Amino acid sequence: MALAALAFTCLAVVGSAQADVNSSTTTGPEHTATTTYLPTGPGTTVTGAPPTTTTALTEDTPNATSRTKVDIMGQSGKFTVYDERSGKGSGIQLTMDALREVDADGTSVGASGSVKHSINTFAAQDFSIADAEDVTLGNRQVPALKISFSSSISTIGKIRVDTYVIGKSGLLGPPGEEWAVLPGDLKWSIELSEWNWCGCSKGQTTEEGAFVDLDISVKGLGTAQANTGSNKSLSLGGGVNLELSSQTYTDGAWVSMPEGYPKIVMQGSSTIFTFRFPKFSTSSLYDPVLTGLNAAAESSDSSTTTGPGTTSAGPGATSAGP
Protein backbone atom coordinates (compact mmCIF):
# COMPACT_ATOMS: atom_id res chain seq x y z
CA MET A 1 0.00 0.00 0.00
CA ALA A 2 1.64 3.26 -1.11
CA LEU A 3 1.97 6.13 1.33
CA ALA A 4 1.14 9.59 0.09
CA ALA A 5 2.44 11.14 3.30
CA LEU A 6 3.10 10.36 6.92
CA ALA A 7 2.07 12.63 9.76
CA PHE A 8 3.15 11.48 13.21
CA THR A 9 1.74 12.64 16.52
CA CYS A 10 3.72 12.21 19.73
CA LEU A 11 2.12 12.79 23.13
CA ALA A 12 4.06 12.35 26.34
CA VAL A 13 3.25 9.14 28.20
CA VAL A 14 2.48 11.19 31.31
CA GLY A 15 0.31 14.23 30.65
CA SER A 16 -0.77 15.62 27.32
CA ALA A 17 1.81 18.28 26.52
CA GLN A 18 2.90 18.47 22.90
CA ALA A 19 6.51 17.68 22.07
CA ASP A 20 8.56 20.59 20.71
CA VAL A 21 10.15 20.32 17.29
CA ASN A 22 13.77 19.25 17.71
CA SER A 23 16.05 16.44 16.64
CA SER A 24 18.71 14.08 17.92
CA THR A 25 20.94 11.42 16.38
CA THR A 26 20.38 7.72 17.09
CA THR A 27 22.93 5.04 16.23
CA GLY A 28 21.98 1.36 16.04
CA PRO A 29 22.71 -1.87 14.23
CA GLU A 30 20.71 -0.87 11.15
CA HIS A 31 20.86 2.87 11.03
CA THR A 32 22.25 6.18 12.08
CA ALA A 33 19.09 8.21 11.96
CA THR A 34 17.85 11.63 12.90
CA THR A 35 14.96 11.45 15.32
CA THR A 36 12.47 14.28 14.91
CA TYR A 37 9.78 15.20 17.39
CA LEU A 38 6.79 16.75 15.66
CA PRO A 39 3.96 18.89 17.02
CA THR A 40 0.61 17.19 17.53
CA GLY A 41 -1.35 16.57 14.34
CA PRO A 42 -3.28 13.80 12.57
CA GLY A 43 -1.66 10.40 12.68
CA THR A 44 0.06 8.53 15.47
CA THR A 45 -1.12 8.79 19.05
CA VAL A 46 0.15 7.64 22.41
CA THR A 47 -2.41 7.42 25.17
CA GLY A 48 -2.56 6.26 28.75
CA ALA A 49 -0.10 6.50 31.61
CA PRO A 50 2.02 4.05 33.56
CA PRO A 51 1.60 1.23 34.38
CA THR A 52 0.07 0.84 30.91
CA THR A 53 0.54 2.84 27.74
CA THR A 54 -0.71 2.38 24.19
CA THR A 55 0.94 3.60 21.02
CA ALA A 56 -0.46 3.45 17.50
CA LEU A 57 0.48 4.44 13.98
CA THR A 58 -1.72 5.19 11.02
CA GLU A 59 -0.87 6.55 7.58
CA ASP A 60 -2.24 10.02 6.89
CA THR A 61 -3.94 9.09 3.60
CA PRO A 62 -7.59 9.36 2.49
CA ASN A 63 -8.05 5.58 2.66
CA ALA A 64 -5.64 4.61 5.44
CA THR A 65 -6.04 0.98 6.46
CA SER A 66 -3.02 0.32 8.72
CA ARG A 67 -3.74 0.93 12.39
CA THR A 68 -1.34 -1.02 14.59
CA LYS A 69 -1.40 -0.50 18.34
CA VAL A 70 1.11 -1.57 20.98
CA ASP A 71 -0.19 -1.90 24.54
CA ILE A 72 2.63 -2.03 27.12
CA MET A 73 2.32 -2.90 30.80
CA GLY A 74 4.70 -0.95 33.04
CA GLN A 75 4.85 -3.89 35.42
CA SER A 76 6.11 -7.16 33.90
CA GLY A 77 6.98 -5.63 30.52
CA LYS A 78 4.25 -7.65 28.81
CA PHE A 79 3.01 -6.08 25.59
CA THR A 80 0.22 -6.78 23.12
CA VAL A 81 0.29 -5.85 19.43
CA TYR A 82 -2.96 -5.60 17.50
CA ASP A 83 -4.86 -3.91 14.70
CA GLU A 84 -7.27 -1.34 16.11
CA ARG A 85 -10.05 -2.52 13.79
CA SER A 86 -9.83 -6.11 15.05
CA GLY A 87 -9.43 -5.22 18.73
CA LYS A 88 -6.96 -6.20 21.44
CA GLY A 89 -8.54 -9.66 21.77
CA SER A 90 -7.26 -10.46 18.28
CA GLY A 91 -3.72 -9.34 19.05
CA ILE A 92 -0.37 -11.01 19.64
CA GLN A 93 0.78 -11.07 23.28
CA LEU A 94 4.49 -11.17 24.14
CA THR A 95 5.61 -11.92 27.71
CA MET A 96 9.08 -11.99 29.19
CA ASP A 97 9.07 -15.14 31.30
CA ALA A 98 12.55 -15.66 32.74
CA LEU A 99 16.21 -14.71 32.43
CA ARG A 100 19.28 -16.77 33.37
CA GLU A 101 22.99 -16.17 33.21
CA VAL A 102 24.65 -19.46 32.25
CA ASP A 103 28.16 -20.83 31.84
CA ALA A 104 29.72 -22.22 28.66
CA ASP A 105 27.86 -25.53 29.20
CA GLY A 106 24.49 -23.81 29.63
CA THR A 107 24.30 -24.35 33.41
CA SER A 108 22.80 -21.50 35.47
CA VAL A 109 25.32 -19.53 37.51
CA GLY A 110 25.00 -17.03 40.34
CA ALA A 111 21.88 -18.65 41.76
CA SER A 112 23.11 -19.19 45.33
CA GLY A 113 24.71 -15.86 46.28
CA SER A 114 23.10 -12.74 47.71
CA VAL A 115 23.10 -11.17 44.22
CA LYS A 116 21.09 -13.39 41.89
CA HIS A 117 22.05 -13.63 38.23
CA SER A 118 18.61 -14.85 37.18
CA ILE A 119 14.94 -13.87 37.22
CA ASN A 120 12.42 -16.68 37.47
CA THR A 121 9.50 -14.40 36.62
CA PHE A 122 9.10 -10.83 35.35
CA ALA A 123 5.62 -10.49 36.89
CA ALA A 124 6.75 -8.01 39.56
CA GLN A 125 9.45 -6.35 37.46
CA ASP A 126 8.92 -2.59 37.03
CA PHE A 127 9.59 -1.09 33.60
CA SER A 128 9.99 2.58 32.71
CA ILE A 129 8.18 3.52 29.49
CA ALA A 130 9.77 6.25 27.36
CA ASP A 131 7.98 8.84 25.27
CA ALA A 132 7.30 7.92 21.65
CA GLU A 133 9.77 9.00 18.97
CA ASP A 134 9.51 9.26 15.19
CA VAL A 135 12.57 7.56 13.66
CA THR A 136 13.82 6.23 10.35
CA LEU A 137 15.34 2.76 9.93
CA GLY A 138 17.29 0.97 7.21
CA ASN A 139 19.55 3.81 6.04
CA ARG A 140 16.72 6.31 6.56
CA GLN A 141 14.43 4.52 4.15
CA VAL A 142 11.72 3.24 6.54
CA PRO A 143 9.88 5.66 8.85
CA ALA A 144 8.60 4.20 12.11
CA LEU A 145 7.19 5.12 15.48
CA LYS A 146 9.47 3.97 18.30
CA ILE A 147 8.54 3.43 21.92
CA SER A 148 10.91 1.86 24.43
CA PHE A 149 10.59 0.37 27.90
CA SER A 150 13.41 -0.68 30.21
CA SER A 151 14.21 -2.14 33.61
CA SER A 152 17.16 -2.87 35.87
CA ILE A 153 17.91 -6.56 36.44
CA SER A 154 18.72 -6.54 40.17
CA THR A 155 22.16 -4.92 40.35
CA ILE A 156 23.66 -6.97 37.52
CA GLY A 157 22.49 -5.13 34.41
CA LYS A 158 19.70 -3.60 32.36
CA ILE A 159 17.17 -4.81 29.80
CA ARG A 160 15.47 -2.60 27.21
CA VAL A 161 12.83 -3.38 24.61
CA ASP A 162 12.37 -1.09 21.60
CA THR A 163 9.21 -1.42 19.52
CA TYR A 164 8.93 0.12 16.04
CA VAL A 165 5.58 0.40 14.27
CA ILE A 166 6.54 0.50 10.59
CA GLY A 167 5.18 3.33 8.45
CA LYS A 168 6.46 2.38 4.98
CA SER A 169 7.49 -0.77 3.13
CA GLY A 170 11.17 -1.68 2.97
CA LEU A 171 13.84 -4.18 4.01
CA LEU A 172 15.08 -4.51 7.60
CA GLY A 173 17.08 -7.05 9.57
CA PRO A 174 20.59 -8.41 10.13
CA PRO A 175 22.94 -8.97 7.17
CA GLY A 176 21.82 -11.96 5.11
CA GLU A 177 18.55 -12.26 7.06
CA GLU A 178 16.67 -9.16 5.89
CA TRP A 179 12.86 -9.19 5.95
CA ALA A 180 10.38 -7.31 3.79
CA VAL A 181 8.26 -5.10 6.05
CA LEU A 182 4.99 -3.32 5.31
CA PRO A 183 3.13 -0.45 6.99
CA GLY A 184 1.70 -1.66 10.30
CA ASP A 185 4.34 -4.37 10.87
CA LEU A 186 6.19 -4.34 14.20
CA LYS A 187 9.96 -4.54 14.44
CA TRP A 188 11.14 -5.02 18.01
CA SER A 189 14.49 -5.46 19.68
CA ILE A 190 15.73 -6.64 23.07
CA GLU A 191 18.95 -5.17 24.43
CA LEU A 192 21.00 -6.23 27.46
CA SER A 193 23.60 -3.77 28.74
CA GLU A 194 25.75 -2.67 31.71
CA TRP A 195 26.18 -6.30 32.76
CA ASN A 196 28.19 -7.43 35.79
CA TRP A 197 29.11 -10.96 34.77
CA CYS A 198 29.22 -13.72 37.31
CA GLY A 199 32.60 -14.70 38.67
CA CYS A 200 30.79 -16.16 41.64
CA SER A 201 32.09 -18.54 44.28
CA LYS A 202 30.06 -21.66 45.00
CA GLY A 203 31.90 -23.66 47.62
CA GLN A 204 35.35 -24.30 46.20
CA THR A 205 34.15 -23.62 42.64
CA THR A 206 34.15 -20.34 40.74
CA GLU A 207 31.21 -19.95 38.37
CA GLU A 208 31.81 -17.98 35.19
CA GLY A 209 28.99 -16.48 33.13
CA ALA A 210 29.29 -16.96 29.36
CA PHE A 211 25.75 -16.29 28.06
CA VAL A 212 22.41 -14.83 29.12
CA ASP A 213 19.31 -16.86 28.21
CA LEU A 214 16.04 -14.94 27.91
CA ASP A 215 12.70 -16.78 27.69
CA ILE A 216 9.84 -14.98 25.94
CA SER A 217 6.41 -16.49 25.35
CA VAL A 218 4.35 -15.41 22.37
CA LYS A 219 0.62 -16.08 22.26
CA GLY A 220 -1.04 -15.77 18.87
CA LEU A 221 -4.46 -16.48 17.40
CA GLY A 222 -3.79 -20.19 17.01
CA THR A 223 -1.16 -22.87 17.32
CA ALA A 224 2.19 -21.59 16.08
CA GLN A 225 3.51 -23.40 13.03
CA ALA A 226 6.81 -23.17 11.20
CA ASN A 227 6.37 -21.73 7.72
CA THR A 228 7.37 -24.02 4.87
CA GLY A 229 11.08 -24.05 4.13
CA SER A 230 12.15 -22.06 7.21
CA ASN A 231 12.83 -22.79 10.86
CA LYS A 232 13.04 -19.07 11.63
CA SER A 233 9.65 -18.00 10.28
CA LEU A 234 6.58 -18.96 12.29
CA SER A 235 2.91 -18.43 11.59
CA LEU A 236 1.04 -17.24 14.70
CA GLY A 237 -2.40 -17.39 13.08
CA GLY A 238 -4.55 -14.66 11.56
CA GLY A 239 -1.96 -13.95 8.87
CA VAL A 240 0.66 -12.84 11.42
CA ASN A 241 4.22 -14.18 11.11
CA LEU A 242 7.12 -13.95 13.54
CA GLU A 243 10.43 -13.63 11.68
CA LEU A 244 13.48 -14.64 13.72
CA SER A 245 17.21 -14.18 13.30
CA SER A 246 20.10 -16.33 14.47
CA GLN A 247 22.31 -13.28 15.11
CA THR A 248 22.79 -10.78 17.91
CA TYR A 249 24.33 -7.34 17.58
CA THR A 250 27.02 -7.60 20.24
CA ASP A 251 29.54 -4.86 21.09
CA GLY A 252 29.08 -3.29 17.66
CA ALA A 253 29.23 -6.42 15.48
CA TRP A 254 26.80 -9.11 14.31
CA VAL A 255 27.50 -12.42 16.08
CA SER A 256 25.80 -15.78 15.44
CA MET A 257 24.01 -17.44 18.34
CA PRO A 258 25.24 -20.90 19.39
CA GLU A 259 23.82 -23.81 17.40
CA GLY A 260 20.23 -24.59 18.33
CA TYR A 261 19.32 -20.99 19.18
CA PRO A 262 16.93 -19.37 19.21
CA LYS A 263 15.30 -22.38 20.87
CA ILE A 264 11.57 -22.83 20.21
CA VAL A 265 9.09 -24.80 22.33
CA MET A 266 5.45 -24.82 21.20
CA GLN A 267 2.69 -25.17 23.81
CA GLY A 268 -0.72 -24.84 22.17
CA SER A 269 -1.41 -21.22 21.28
CA SER A 270 1.68 -20.11 23.23
CA THR A 271 5.23 -20.53 21.99
CA ILE A 272 8.27 -20.10 24.23
CA PHE A 273 11.42 -18.72 22.63
CA THR A 274 14.82 -18.82 24.32
CA PHE A 275 17.28 -16.27 22.98
CA ARG A 276 20.93 -16.80 23.95
CA PHE A 277 22.99 -13.61 24.22
CA PRO A 278 26.80 -14.05 24.20
CA LYS A 279 29.07 -12.45 26.77
CA PHE A 280 29.50 -8.76 26.01
CA SER A 281 31.38 -5.75 27.32
CA THR A 282 28.92 -3.01 26.38
CA SER A 283 25.66 -4.45 25.06
CA SER A 284 24.01 -7.22 23.07
CA LEU A 285 20.81 -6.81 21.04
CA TYR A 286 18.37 -9.21 19.36
CA ASP A 287 16.15 -7.95 16.57
CA PRO A 288 13.05 -9.90 15.34
CA VAL A 289 9.92 -8.64 13.53
CA LEU A 290 6.16 -9.34 13.46
CA THR A 291 4.62 -9.09 9.98
CA GLY A 292 1.06 -9.27 8.66
CA LEU A 293 -0.51 -7.54 11.67
CA ASN A 294 -3.04 -5.76 9.45
CA ALA A 295 -3.82 -8.76 7.23
CA ALA A 296 -6.97 -9.95 9.01
CA ALA A 297 -8.45 -6.48 9.34
CA GLU A 298 -7.69 -5.61 5.72
CA SER A 299 -9.27 -8.87 4.58
CA SER A 300 -12.37 -7.96 6.55
CA ASP A 301 -12.35 -4.44 5.10
CA SER A 302 -12.24 -5.81 1.55
CA SER A 303 -15.86 -6.96 1.84
CA THR A 304 -18.82 -4.58 1.91
CA THR A 305 -20.88 -4.35 5.09
CA THR A 306 -24.11 -2.43 5.47
CA GLY A 307 -25.90 -1.43 8.65
CA PRO A 308 -28.22 1.27 9.92
CA GLY A 309 -27.02 4.59 8.57
CA THR A 310 -23.61 3.29 7.47
CA THR A 311 -22.12 1.84 4.30
CA SER A 312 -18.47 0.82 4.41
CA ALA A 313 -16.11 -0.75 1.91
CA GLY A 314 -12.46 -1.70 1.56
CA PRO A 315 -9.45 0.37 0.54
CA GLY A 316 -10.08 2.72 -2.35
CA ALA A 317 -13.85 2.84 -1.76
CA THR A 318 -16.05 5.46 -0.17
CA SER A 319 -17.24 5.30 3.43
CA ALA A 320 -20.30 7.12 4.58
CA GLY A 321 -22.22 7.28 7.83
CA PRO A 322 -23.92 9.56 10.25
Question: According to the 3-state scheme, what is the secondary structure of the chain?
Answer: CCCCCCCCCCECCCCCCECCCEEEEEECCCCEEEEEECCCCCCCEEEEECCEEEEEEECCCCCCCCEEEEEEECECCCEEEEECCCCHHHCEEEEEEEEEEECCCCCECCCCCCCCCEECCCCCCECEECCCEEEEECCCCEEEEEEEEEEEECCCEEEEEEEEEECCCEEECCCCCCEEECCCCEEEEEEEECCCCCEEEECCEEEECCEEEEEEEEECCCCCEECCCCCCEEEEECCEEEECCCEEEECCEEEECCCCCCEEEEECCEEEEEEEEECCCCEEEECCEEECCCHHHHHHHCCCEEECCEEECCCCCCCECC
For residue range 277-316, what is the model confidence (pLDDT) as tens digits? 999 999 999 999 999 887 655 554 444 343 443 333 333 3
Q: Where are the domains of the chain?
A: 22-304
CB 191 within 8 A of CB 212: no
Q: Is the pLDDT confidence value at 46 over 70?
A: no
Across 142-167, average pLDDT: 94
pLDDT at 189: 95
For residue range 181-211, what is the model confidence (pLDDT) as tens digits? 999 999 999 999 999 999 888 877 888 999 9
Across 32-37, average pLDDT: 32
Across 170-175, average pLDDT: 90
